[in-house]
Amino acid sequence: MPSVFVRSCTEADLPSITDIYNHAVQNTTAIWNETTVSLVNRVAWFQARRAQGYPTLVAVDDQDRVLGYASFGDLRPFEDYRFTVEHSVYVAE
């Protein structure tokens, strides 16, 4: 059985993350969005997470192929939610 490792995401992982996200958009009801995204979109998404101090993690195999990813973000833009985050986990098909 191959090993799975979890590490911090880098921009080099974003093409795989884009593919995983778009597969979920096209084939599941997990995302409240019906439009696929571009790599440019995922770069902006990743940079926004970093700017807010939120981690983005990837699960990779022993050849460093991305198997899934997880991230955190603000739950709602209201003051009563200021201590609350939303987390998302996506796994490759």
pLDDT in tens, 29-68: 888 888 999 999 999 999 999 999 999 999 999 999 999 9
Average pLDDT over residues 1-18: 94
Judged on CB neighbours under 10 Å (0-12, 13-18, 19+), 70 is middle
25 band by pLDDT with thresholds 50, 70 and 90: very high
Give me the mean pLDDT over the 66-75 stretch. 91
Q: Domains (ranges, CATH) in the chain?
A: 4-91 (3.40.630.30)
Q: What share of the chain is helix, strand, coil (3-state, %, to 5)?
A: 35, 30, 35
pLDDT of residue 12: 97
- pTM for this prediction: 0.88
Mean pLDDT on 15-37 = 93
